[in-house]
Amino acid sequence: WQEHQNSLEHWLDAYLHNEFSINGSGDRVSLSALEQYKAEPEFWFGASEVNAQRLDALVREHILPGHERPALEPNVLNGMLKGFIDLVFEHNGKYYVADYKSNWLGEDDHAYTEQAMREKILHSRYDLQYVIYTLALHRLLKARLGSEYDYDTHVGGAVYLFLRGHRAESDGAFCDRPPRELIEKLDALFSGKDLSDKEPV
């Protein structure tokens, strides 16, 4: 890779200073401007007889509803769920999970549209991934902030950065914020409870 060193250093510097949108309000940020962040934080939390198809149904209902995606295989998660998040950062009082993706979506920057990134997110089930990451962030903030924590106040959502598309009109950034209702239902589901919408008997 020695012959590519200069090109890679230039590309990396450009990417770190590239601004991208993190929500629908036009708020923009660059990685180099972040002041509070944690790279590669590890998380663990318990999974108590979690039905994978129930998990899948909840994600489909609340995340990009109406869009097709591969179904999860029948399975039961039981034990400890472990993972690493590429980046957790704070911006204007809200916390975000970020993940870097090197997926090739097309020949040039024009290929990295919102629709193309969404289709890749769904096809690869990154939607499920960022929901789990957001649940981990939710549990961390609840433990760290205690009674001051509020999901709607403190959680900004997920940012998936498609590195090859950083010069595209989309900035190569796909953003979503799982709704509070979903995260609370998943929090209960992984704790062995299922907050279904059934009417009380």
CA angle 83, 85, 91 (to 5 degrees): 150
Choose the catalytic residue: 86, 99, 187, 194.
Answer: 99
Per-residue model confidence (pLDDT) at position 97: 98
Is pLDDT above 50 for 200? no
Q: What whole-number percentage of the chain has pLDDT above 90?
A: 79
pLDDT in tens, 75-108: 999 999 999 999 999 999 999 999 999 899 998 9
pLDDT in tens, 9-58: 888 888 899 999 887 667 899 999 999 999 999 999 999 999 999 999 99
Q: In the structure, what pLDDT confidence band is assigned to residue 5 with cuts at 50, 70 and 90?
A: confident
Residue with tokens 């939390």: 45
| 56 flagged as catalytic | no
Domains of the chain: 2-22+41-190 (3.90.320.10)
Residue with tokens 């924590």: 149
Burial class (CB in 10 A: 0-12, 13-18, 19+), 185: buried
Under 8 Å between Cβ of 172 and 191: no
SS3 156: strand
Per-residue model confidence (pLDDT) at position 12: 84
